[in-house]
Amino acid sequence: MAQILTITLNPTVDLSTSAASVTPGPKLRCTTPEADPGGGGINVSRAIRFLGGESTAFTAVGGETGALLLRLLAEERVRFTAFSVSGGDTRQSMAITDQSTGEQYRFVMPGPYWNHDMVDESLNAIAAAATVGGIVVLSGSQPPGVPIDYTARLSRRLSAHGIQLFVDTSGAPLHELVKHPANPYVLRMDDVEAEDLAGRALPTRTDTADFAQALVERGVAENVIVARGSDGSTLANATGRWHASRAIDPADVVSAVGAGDSFVGAFSMALTRGDTFQQALCFGTAAASAAVLTAGTQLCSAQDVARLLPGCVLVEV
């Protein structure tokens, strides 16, 4: 089985709690917080671990919060490679649920600043840690100071060594990747990001598939995946376009946190065990659906994925 290396440049210690109601002014008495290791790539590795797979989480860490992050990863038995940064402490994030409404408020800090040397050193360290023939997953936000063409630099570095790059990014780095294509193996985004890039609404699966296919034809990525929220995910590549969906009762949704990372983890895991892209799309969709059934940052469970997978509907678009 090909090995998976996940990359988290801007990890976080995720704190989740709840209060009777969230209103401005008075002190809000919260329940006992739960702390989890977080950040895109880390959550992808956690999801893979929860599903019974293996990966290595390459994560930047700094200060006392960084040390806590590594302890939390060790407690979950997630294998990791730490990359030390000097621009400040690893960030913290917080999710607070209003018990009276069920609404969740998420507060995300910026993270430590990276200088030019740290950027170059990280590219060298990732290339050294990656396995030839394996998959590298770059997921999550970039810390301050990291250039917007970082993904393209990493893609070129890895492709020269026969390593496949799966990118799940957003904002300026995503726009840069589309503007100056570097053709990673897989590019994933959500529907809001896709509509922002397209400059128009993408109300139907066909609209989404057309957009994804256009990116493939331009060389933006070999395979493009667009998540359509509760409707599932659409995949396009040079050989076809497919959509996978799994109906979830809205009343069963507990938290949307981690659905995307669960999808990426399951999809990558499926590819490394030899599944087809269609099978990987269904496995990822089932994992994303399972994630919304859990509270806080718990991600997906193997039991829920196994239960939901048979009900996944795959269609050509």
pLDDT digits (tens), the chain, 317 positions: 569 999 999 999 989 899 999 999 999 999 999 898 999 999 999 999 999 999 999 999 999 999 999 999 999 999 999 999 987 899 999 989 999 998 888 898 888 999 999 999 999 999 999 998 899 999 999 999 999 999 999 999 998 888 999 999 889 999 999 999 899 999 999 999 999 999 999 999 999 999 999 999 999 999 999 999 889 999 999 999 999 998 666 656 666 667 899 999 999 999 999 999 999 999 999 999 888 776 656 688 889 999 999 999 999 99
Query: pTM of the prediction?
Result: 0.90
Q: What is the DSSP secondary structure assignment for residue 20, as one 8-state letter?
A: S
Burial of 52 (0-12, 13-18, 19+ CB in 10 A): exposed
User: Three-state SS for 127?
Assistant: helix
Q: How many domains does the chain have?
A: 1
Both tokens of 187, joined, read 């590019």
pLDDT on residue 257: 66
pLDDT on residue 222: 96
Neighbours of 179 (CB within 10 A): 12
pLDDT on residue 300: 85
CATH of the domain at 13: 3.40.1190.20
∠ CA 74-78-81, rounded to 5°:
85
Residue 58 lies in domain:
4-22+31-316
Task: Name the catalytic one among 249, 261, 275, 304.
Answer: 261
pLDDT on residue 299: 83
Q: CB of 317 within 8 A of CB of 277?
A: no
261 catalytic residue (yes or no): yes
